[in-house]
Amino acid sequence: MPSAPGRGIRSAQIGLLINTLLAIVKFVAGILGNAYALVADAVESAADIFSSLIVWGGLRIATRQADEDYPFGYGKAEPLAAVVVALLLMGAAGGIAVEAIREIRTPHHAPAPFTLVVLVAVILVKEILFRRVIRVGEEVASTAVKADAWHHRSDAITSAAAFIGISVALIGGPGWEAADDWAALAASGVIVVNAGLLLRPAIQDLMDRSPGGDLLDRISAAALATSDVQSIEKLMVRKAGFHYFVDLHVQAEPTLSLHEAHVLSGRVKTSIRRAVPEVGGVLIHMEPYEM
């Protein structure tokens, strides 16, 4: 089975190929069918292409081994890629909104009916892609992969908005030509909200926010289950890429020799890494246990 980074890179590659094809199809259909919402959708897909490239590059860097310059590894490249993807989403949304307002103020022809068929196909493809990529992101605990997945969902949302807008324009007839432009404007707002939701966890990872919850409980339980450990305190965990780094104070009998304390710390590290495989490094501080 491919490694976690390998699965993330594979999902980014698939997204890159699909987004390239969809961007071309939507742009051509939007121009020929007088549907700006579809053109805006094509722009969003083009942003998806760059986001997939960024996620791909970020994951490749994150898998590099630690060295003298980066002793904790290159894992931060993964949430950094997610931040760039979220900012790209915001930029694309801003561009769509500006162009939609311009189109609303400019009279134009009603969109062509065939554009609805294109949009239905796009929505189905992007929703399937979203579900596939978000599942991979959850399984490998990758902020960047999940950001890429939500980029696909945002594309599906803009396509759905375009479908509604074009449908209204076609059903309403003369005077309703700008309905698809209003749909593009509404879709840009949805994209901004999604981008904000993606940006927050990525920044939290960059700022070493504690993962909290079940992970800390599993680490604590593994340490306390190690024989000769009397108590633990000051458990600190941070995430870097696909791994977590643990800083833990372990209390043991004060009569232990330095060698015995060293051996015990090694057993605690082994227990934690066996119980929580996603832990990449453990730093143990040995302290005397006092009632």
My answer on whether 22 and 72 are in the same domain is yes
My answer on whether 52 and 160 are in the same domain is yes
Last residue of a domain, one of 206, 229, 256: 206
My answer on whether 101 and 166 are in the same domain is yes
The pLDDT value given to residue 4: 60
My answer on whether 82 and 116 are in the same domain is yes
On whether the CB atoms of residues 169 and 178 are closer than 8 A, the answer is: yes
The pLDDT value given to residue 44: 67
My answer on whether 265 and 189 are in the same domain is no
* 208 backbone dihedrals φ, ψ, rounded to 5°: 60, 40
My answer on whether 128 and 40 are in the same domain is yes
Joined together, the tokens standing for residue 173 give 């007839």
On whether the CB atoms of residues 54 and 140 are closer than 8 A, the answer is: no
Q: Answer yes or no: pTM beyond 0.75.
A: no
The pLDDT value given to residue 109: 66
CATH at residue 194: 1.20.1510.10
Which domain does 143 fall in, by range? 4-206
Neighbours of 154 (CB within 10 A): 28
On whether the CB atoms of residues 156 and 126 are closer than 8 A, the answer is: yes
C-alpha separations of 122 from 116, 159, 229, 253, 266 in Å: 10, 7, 57, 64, 54
- CA 196, 19, 128 angle in degrees (round to 5)? 75
The pLDDT value given to residue 2: 54
* 261 backbone dihedrals φ, ψ, rounded to 5°: -65, -40
My answer on whether 56 and 195 are in the same domain is yes
The pLDDT value given to residue 272: 94
Cβ burial, residue 234 (10 Å; 0-12/13-18/19+): exposed
Last residue of a domain, one of 159, 182, 206: 206
- How many domains does the chain fold into? 2
Q: How far is CA 16 from the centre of its chain?
A: 15
pLDDT in tens, the chain (291 residues): 456 666 767 777 777 788 788 888 878 887 887 776 677 677 767 767 777 778 778 878 887 888 888 887 888 888 888 888 888 878 878 877 887 788 777 766 667 788 888 888 888 988 888 888 888 877 777 777 777 787 777 778 778 877 888 788 788 877 776 777 787 788 788 778 878 887 888 888 888 888 877 889 999 999 999 999 999 988 999 888 778 899 999 999 998 999 999 999 999 999 999 999 888 889 999 999 886
Rounded Cα distance, 51 and 47, in Å? 6
Dihedral angle over CA of 189, 194, 200, 202, nearest 10: -130
My answer on whether 126 and 29 are in the same domain is yes
My answer on whether 117 and 74 are in the same domain is yes
My answer on whether 192 and 80 are in the same domain is yes
Last residue of a domain, one of 184, 206, 228: 206
My answer on whether 164 and 218 are in the same domain is no
Helices (H), strands (E): how many in the chain? 8, 3
My answer on whether 282 and 171 are in the same domain is no
If DSSP codes are grouped into helix, strand and coil, which group holds residue 74?
coil
CATH at residue 283: 3.30.70.1350
